[in-house]
Chain A
Amino acid sequence: MRGNEAIAEAAIRAGCKCYFCYPITPQGELVEYMARHLPRRGGVFLQAESEVAAINMVYGASAAGVRTMTSSSSPGISLKMEGISYLAGSRLPAVIVNVMRGGPGLGNIAPAQGDYFQATKGGGHGDYHLIVLAPSTVQEAAELVMLAFALSDRYRVPAMILADGMLGQMMEPVELPEPVDEGAIPEKPWALTGAEGREPRVVLSFDLDPQGLKEMNLVLQATYREIEAHEVRWEEVDTADAEILLVAYGTMGRIAKTVVRLARAEGIRAGLLRPISLWPFPYEPIRALAERIPVVLTVELSAGQMWEDVRLAVEGRAATPFYGELGGVVPTPKEILSEVKKHAR
């Protein structure tokens, strides 16, 4: 199955009832899959007039209490940022899929990781975070979509799947997750269902009183601390005896796995830490490894966006070189290997 299609099918199996989109490459197959399959399986597919409208439809559908999703690629995600900030401020769950491409501006449709800052550091206005999950295989993409819906509902925080053009277009065998039992999805006691027989409910992202807005923000911040305590996810490969640690996520994480194998074949004890949750970021696991591994090499399809978080984690405990590619260029394992050789003792 193609990555984009696996994400779509997993979303339907996760109980996504409403999907709103605006077409953009390289995630077109996701839109098409939803158009073909979601209405037949009892859901709503709607192609909006813009990304701005699509995310605000998600906002409405989420407030009505259903699981809802939108997907796009980098320039489209920029347009969705207003709505994403509102979702965060109003504590509405939703899943947003970003199949990244080269940027800034119109960029191109090749795989890149230049939206890391936007995904993990806000992107929209205000003090908020998204739960950001970065798959590196089609199988993992399907699984993380299920997880994204569950975590988003549990914490009332929007979740983003941060993939890229490579993963979206790639075809791999995939064992699809079992559909969720919709009866088991917890009730949403805040949903707008009509005030019959109860007090009216309101969904708001604002309070003109600074003290009131501060309280709202403190609730958000407390939620983020809880997520940081429980939802950090990462994968380690050959770290036990490593003398050089690679840190890479998504498509680059997958290439880095090959690099570790190639390096080991040449007698270099390389290891990999692949963040799966980009927010919350695996600061502690990286910090712990940096206590005993002298070199932590970040490899990324950007000018060094995740590198900032890696350096925050390492805090001077190890050397922190960086290797990145830009504009949709994807380096070969050999190119990265020569970088590893440069830094390994």
Chain B
Amino acid sequence: MLADVKIPEGYVRVFKRPDSMSDAPYTYCPGCHHGVIGRLVAEAIDELGIRGRTVGIAPVGCAVFLYRFYRCDFIQAAHGRACAVATGLKRANPDLIVFTYQGDGDLAAIGTAETVHAANRGENITAIFVNNAVYGMTGGEMAPTTLPGQRTVTTPEGRDVRTTGYPFKISEMLAQLDGPAYITRQAVYDVRHVQMARKAIRKAFRNQLEGKGFSMVEVVAACPTNLKVSPVHGNKWVTEQALRYFPLGDLKVRDP
């Protein structure tokens, strides 16, 4: 544990775990972007000083153990239902800061309806949408966001758009609605983009504090295990493949 490392005299610790994170070791694979994104969420919670009133909603999938990594209240939701569960929590107790953390299978397939309607109602919640274009935990099946031609265990010859449709552009779709306050797409494959994603996540939480309504940060991420590539190559896949279909930037910002 980092916390146990003895700091030699004369040295100062400049990098530590966010207070909102526990000591529990991550259960993610090497090169998976969940680790970075999870940390950015914790940093936002720390910076805004909201740990004591935050409730996180863990999804089904690789991030199901999210509650172990944080030091705030958590609930685990059924596959796809996080935005409905968040709605119930927030409506029951508007003082809570409620965030969902969902993958593409969760948010963009089985939970599309819950996501679209929560966004359209302008629910005052924050959604973190990790889009790695594949079903991770179940073993690498096609996701709604899988790229054309991308090989997965259920598209062994590559995704054929004639039979399985096109990558689902959830952020573009939600940005058309009147309900959401903030829809943005970010990535974490290099330091500059990590910094941009950090700002976006903080803004998505600050919006909730300010009562602005539904905010979603999509993060285009790599799943090296299911892409069957090295962590470094995972980053390359994001820049060379995924971003062609999922361009980065703010899609909707409702500011006074």
Residues of A whose CB lies within 8 Å of any CB of B are 17-18, 20, 44, 46, 48-50, 52-54, 56-66, 68, 82-83, 86, 90, 192-197, 200-206
- Could you give 11 example pairs across A and B, Cβ below 8 Å? A17-B92, A20-B88, A53-B81, A56-B114, A59-B88, A60-B89, A64-B88, A86-B77, A195-B54, A200-B71, A203-B75
Q: How far is the CA of A154 from the CA of B126 in the complex (A)?
A: 33
Most chain A CB atoms below 10 A, which of B76, B81, B84, B87: B84
- Asked if B178 CB lies within 8 Å of chain A CBs, one says no
- A64 & B77 in contact (Cβ 8 Å cutoff): no
- Asked if B237 CB lies within 8 Å of chain A CBs, one says no
Inter-chain contacts of A62 with B (CB < 8 A): 88
Q: Check A56/B81 contact, CB under 8 A, given A50-B113, A204-B76.
A: yes
- Asked if B168 CB lies within 8 Å of chain A CBs, one says no
- Asked if B70 CB lies within 8 Å of chain A CBs, one says yes
- Asked if B93 CB lies within 8 Å of chain A CBs, one says yes
Q: How far is the CA of A280 from the CA of B78 in the complex (A)?
A: 27
Give the tally of cross-chain contacts (CB within 8 A): 135
A-contacting residues, B64-104, CB 8 Å: 64, 67, 70-78, 81, 84-93, 95-97
A196 to B, closest residue via Cβ: B52
Inter-chain contacts of B87 with A (CB < 8 A): 46, 53, 57, 60
- A205 & B113 in contact (Cβ 8 Å cutoff): no
Q: Check A83/B71 contact, CB under 8 A, given A60-B85, A68-B88, A194-B96.
A: no
- A18 & B92 in contact (Cβ 8 Å cutoff): yes
A92 to nearest B CB, angstroms?
Answer: 9
- Asked if B39 CB lies within 8 Å of chain A CBs, one says no
Give which listed residue, B75, B81, B86, contacts A83 with CB less than 8 A: B81
Give which listed residue, B53, B77, B90, contacts A59 with CB less than 8 A: B77
Known: A56-B77, A59-B84, A68-B92. 5 other contacts (CB 8 A): A49-B114, A49-B117, A52-B113, A60-B85, A60-B90
- A206 & B76 in contact (Cβ 8 Å cutoff): yes
Inter-chain contacts of A206 with B (CB < 8 A): 64, 76
- Asked if B252 CB lies within 8 Å of chain A CBs, one says no
Q: Check A60/B84 contact, CB under 8 A, given A65-B93, A192-B89, A195-B51.
A: yes
Q: How far is the CA of A180 from the CA of B120 in the complex (A)?
A: 36
Q: How far is the CA of A48 from the CA of B120 in the complex (A)?
A: 12
Give which listed residue, B52, B67, B81, B96, contacts A52 with CB less than 8 A: B81
Give which listed residue, B64, B78, B89, contacts A61 with CB less than 8 A: B89
Q: How far is the CA of A196 from the CA of B75 in the complex (A)?
A: 16
Give which listed residue, A46, A59, A64, contacts B96 with CB less than 8 A: A64
Q: How far is the CA of A182 from the CA of B206 in the complex (A)?
A: 33
- B91 & A195 in contact (Cβ 8 Å cutoff): no
Inter-chain contacts of B114 with A (CB < 8 A): 49, 52-53, 56
- A194 & B81 in contact (Cβ 8 Å cutoff): no
